[in-house]
Amino acid sequence: MKFSQKTAYLSSAIFAELKTRKNQRLASGKEVLDFSIGTPDLPPPRHVMDVIRQEIENPENYKYAIKDLPELTEAVIDWYQKRFGVSLDPEEVTSLLGSQEGLGHIALTLTDPGDVAMVPDPGYPIFMMGPMIAGARLYKMPLLRENRYLIDLERIDPTVAHQAKLMIVSYPNNPVTATAPPEFYEKLVWFAKKYDIAVIHDNAYCELIFDGPPGGSIFNIPGAKDVAVEFNSLSKSYNLSGCRLAFAVGNREIIGHLKNLKSHLDYGIFLPLQKAAIAAISGPQDCIRETVRIYRRRRDILVDGLASLGWQMDRPPATMFAWAPLPKSYRSSMDFTLELLDKTGVLVVPGSSFGDLGEGYVRFALVQPEEEIRKAVDAIKNSGILERDILSEQSRCAL
């Protein structure tokens, strides 16, 4: 059989390898402390689960939804107004079957094969995959620590910028955890208008900020709706990742084309889940504060615990991840990840799976309770895996 060339780059060799190694370890009776995938281990709000329980009893709710319930669109509009002070019209809102789905499809509405899409490197994988599925050419925008992981718009080649059709931007950022100040978004909107580029802002972690001001919306910048859409997910804010609930809002032309594309691909979100989304964004929001408190504690236990062993990393200001540079004597994030799993049972994601500039790092997802994080730190300490560093340091001193 002949398959498309796309199938080659769609195979996620790294994740398949990690899964195999994890299963082999479990099959041999050894423990795995899994910090790899960013799926929250925390429960959803009780009142949201109650809505799902009630609504699944109603046989009417098993029909094709086709569209968003008007009450859902209204709830999103109210939520944006209350949470960000941003006004939206119903034509500026669409649901998504998770942000992942929207990010996978939106490039089909904005690019033709060969068009340029600008994406961050390192970046959450679907940022590159979505445009690649659409046949776009990628222009990678480096996220560098020395630039606080902000995209350096001034360094983008103007010839490429003139060709680009879309640009994907996301702060607070997975995997590097950085946030971006309002001045960055002002420059971004100005840049997108100058070069006529659609901006897709993925705001999945706007609620999970530990230090600094609360997360905003790109639409807090005047004129942003002329060029941008924003994705917002309920997966991490409300621990609903399995429900596949997210929204895209903003520029009505882009939203219109996305809705139209989706009308050919899916028949909308299961109605009990649409009602759950309404309950989540319209109901009490204290669950978010509790989630932030828990991740902040986990972050501190991990960062301080590893620092006490001599493994230093920046303290993540946001998200549910930690982005750790490889201990000095390691070069390959994949080799280090496999050795770490083998010697300690701790499973992380190699930075190289987020793009070329992710090499040299590994990502921890803070999806284990405090005791498991402490156990992981102890396992790392007892394994001696960091001692290669001390030994190479000593041999350098001896020279």
Ligand X SMILES: Cc1ncc(COP(=O)(O)O)c(C=O)c1O
Binding site for ligand X (CB under 6 A): 38, 98-100, 124, 170, 174, 202, 204, 233, 235, 241, 246
Angle between helical axes of 70-84 and 271-282 (0-180°, round to 10): 20
Q: Which is nearer to ligand X, 124 or 219 (CB)?
A: 124
Alpha-carbon 130 to chain mean position: 14
Residue 9, judged by CB atoms within 10 A of its CB (0-12, 13-18, 19+), counts as exposed
Question: Looking at beta carbons only, is 170 or 353 nearer to ligand X?
Answer: 170
Q: Closest CB to ligand X among 176 and 197? A: 176
Work out how close the CB of 124 gets to ligand X at its nearest, in angstroms, rounded to a whole number: 4
HEC assignment per residue over the chain: CCCCCHHHHHCCHHHHHHHHHHHHHHHCCCCCEECCCCCCCCCCCHHHHHHHHHHCCCHHHHCCCCCCCHHHHHHHHHHHHHHHCCCCCHHHEEEECCHHHHHHHCHHHHCCCCCEEEEEECCCCHHHHHHHHCCCEEEEEECCHHHCCCCCHHHCCHHHHHHEEEEEECCCCCCCCCCCCHHHHHHHHHHHHHHCCEEEEECCCCCCECCCCCCCCHHHCCCHHHCEEEEEEHHHHCCCHHHCCEEEEECHHHHHHHHHHHHHHCCCCCHHHHHHHHHHHHCCCHHHHHHHHHHHHHHHHHHHHHHHCCCCCCCCCECCEEEEECCCCCCCHHHHHHHHHHHHCEECEEHHHHCHHHCCEEEEECCCCHHHHHHHHHHHHHHCCCHHHHHHHHHHHHC
Using alpha carbons, list the distances in angstroms from residue 8 to 111, 123, 139.
21, 20, 20
Least spacing, CB of residue 234 vs ligand X, in Å? 7
CB of 365 to ligand X, least distance (A): 9
Nearer to ligand X, 95 or 344 (CB): 95
Nearest to 109 by CA among 47, 37, 28, 166: 166
CA 324 to chain centre: 17
Please, which residue, 132 or 204, has the CB nearer to ligand X? 204
In the complex, the smallest distance separating the C-beta of residue 370 from ligand X, rounded to whole angstroms, is: 22
Nearest Cα residue to 199 out of 162, 158, 228, 221: 228
Q: For residues 94 and 235, which CB has a smaller minimum distance to ligand X in the complex?
A: 235
Closer to ligand X at the Cβ: 36 or 170?
170
- Say which amino acid occupies 397: C
Please report how close the Cβ of residue 276 comes to ligand X at its closest, in angstroms. 14
Q: Which is nearer to ligand X, 127 or 195 (CB)?
A: 127
107 vs 161, beta carbon nearer ligand X: 107
Residue with Cβ nearer ligand X (169 or 227):
169
Q: How far is the CB of 68 from ligand X (least distance, A)?
A: 16
Q: How far is the CB of 30 from ligand X (least distance, A)?
A: 27
38/327 with CB nearer ligand X: 38
CB of 265 to ligand X, least distance (A): 15
CB of 204 to ligand X, least distance (A): 4
Least distance from ligand X to the Cβ atom of residue 170, Å: 5
Q: Which residue is nearest to ligand X (CB)?
A: 98
In the complex, least distance from residue 161 CB atom to ligand X, rounded to whole angstroms: 23
